[in-house]
Amino acid sequence: MSIEYSIRELADEFGVTTRTLRFYEEKGLLSPKRHNHTRTYSNADRTRLRLILRGKRLGLTLEESASIILMYDSKTGNTEQLEALITKIRGKRNQLIQQQRDLELMLLDLKVAEDRCIQSLTKV
Amino acid sequence: MSIEYSIRELADEFGVTTRTLRFYEEKGLLSPKRHNHTRTYSNADRTRLRLILRGKRLGLTLEESASIILMYDSKTGNTEQLEALITKIRGKRNQLIQQQRDLELMLLDLKVAEDRCIQSLTKV
DNA sequence: CATATAATTTACGTTAACGTAAACGTAAAC
DNA sequence: GTTTACGTTTACGTTAACGTAAATTATATG
């Protein structure tokens, strides 16, 4: 009972265009099955799309998202590969943690700016 | 005793190229003084640059960073403008808060991936 | 069966954010 | 005085991430 989606359904659900889905496929980020020439997306595709869009909101490039997804469902056996993967994962995590700090700083700045606006309004 | 910087000093300090600094100026994000044709950056310019690069790490476009900087040092008097500004600031904050959630989710995913890697390594 | 609807491929266009190269001015150092 | 180092402007090139348009095919519906 694996659910499947048409390209339009998926596009509408996530608020992207069909062009975008085809483009992601072209870049190897999605790989829907074909039902006599027309694309059929599985739940796995849907999950991938969710990860890609989350990555976009965080400012990742498609390539970065692709590499993260690869990490995520990589069933590598080779020890060397695994250690390389761990290194990569930790590197990415450090970037994200830096982002967290940046985010908090920017939220603080915005709060200061807003407070000053409000003050400016009330002390008429 | 306001400190000033050459284009190279500033570029080196922040790890960007001089081209980048000139480009930001062209886009109105920086406005260094000219000392007989050569650019001289003030502390204010330096702060702006820091904000711009922070924005970049968060995936903002230069235009967005510019608008945030405008909010930040806007001394607007007009009530209407101030209220518009507050609305804008709150909108941006909501985006950032969504980013925070995305970030935490992605960090979790990466942790899961790493743990699986490590397990894969130890259960040889 | 004709027509409307949605899918497909192919391909050129677009924008942001710089890179890169050319051609030139200036000032210190050898 | 000329080489070296750094600055300047002008301008064309590049990459990512799609947009957009054209031409074609397949399915459904009246």
Q: What is the pLDDT of residues A57-104, one digit of tens each?
A: 988 899 989 988 888 776 665 677 777 777 877 787 888 888 888 888
Average pLDDT over residues A103-121: 85
Q: Given this model, what pLDDT does residue A77 score?
A: 58
The length of chain A in residues reads: 124
Q: What percent of chain A has pLDDT over 70?
A: 94
Protein CA A62 to sugar C1' C13 (Å): 21
Q: Given this model, what pLDDT does residue B55 score?
A: 92
Residue A22 has pLDDT above 80, yes or no: yes
Q: Given this model, what pLDDT does residue A60 score?
A: 87
Which residues of chain B make contact with A93, given a CB cutoff of 8 A?
107, 110-111
**pLDDT bracket for residue A124 (50, 70, 90):** low
A77 vs A113: which has the higher pLDDT: A113
Query: Which residues of A have a CB under 8 Å from any CB of B?
Result: 51, 54-55, 57-60, 68, 71-72, 74, 76-77, 79, 82-83, 85-86, 89-90, 92-93, 96-100, 102-103, 105-107, 109-114, 117-118, 120-121, 124
What are the pLDDT digits (tens) for A34-63?
A: 988 899 999 999 999 999 999 999 888 999
Q: Given this model, what pLDDT does residue B39 score?
A: 95
What is the C-alpha to C-alpha distance for residues B10 and A20, in angstroms, rounded to an integer? 39
Conformation bin of residue B36: beta by default, left when phi > 0, alpha when psi is -120 to 50? left
What is the C-alpha to C-alpha distance for residues A61 and A36, in angstroms, rounded to an integer? 32
Residues A120, B2, B8, B12: is their CA dihedral positive or negative?
negative
Low pLDDT (below 50) residues in chain B: none
Q: Given this model, what pLDDT does residue B15 score?
A: 95
What is the C-alpha to C-alpha distance for residues A79 and A64, in angstroms, rounded to an integer? 23
Give, as ranges, the nucleotides of chain C with any atom within 7 Å of a protein CB: 6-10, 16-20, 26-27
CATH topology of domain B1-60: Multidrug-efflux Transporter Regulator; Chain: A; Domain 2 (1.10.1660)
By the 8 A CB rule, do A65 and A51 touch?
yes
CATH topology of domain A1-59: Multidrug-efflux Transporter Regulator; Chain: A; Domain 2 (1.10.1660)
By the 8 A CB rule, do B65 and B56 touch?
yes
Q: Given this model, what pLDDT does residue B124 score?
A: 62
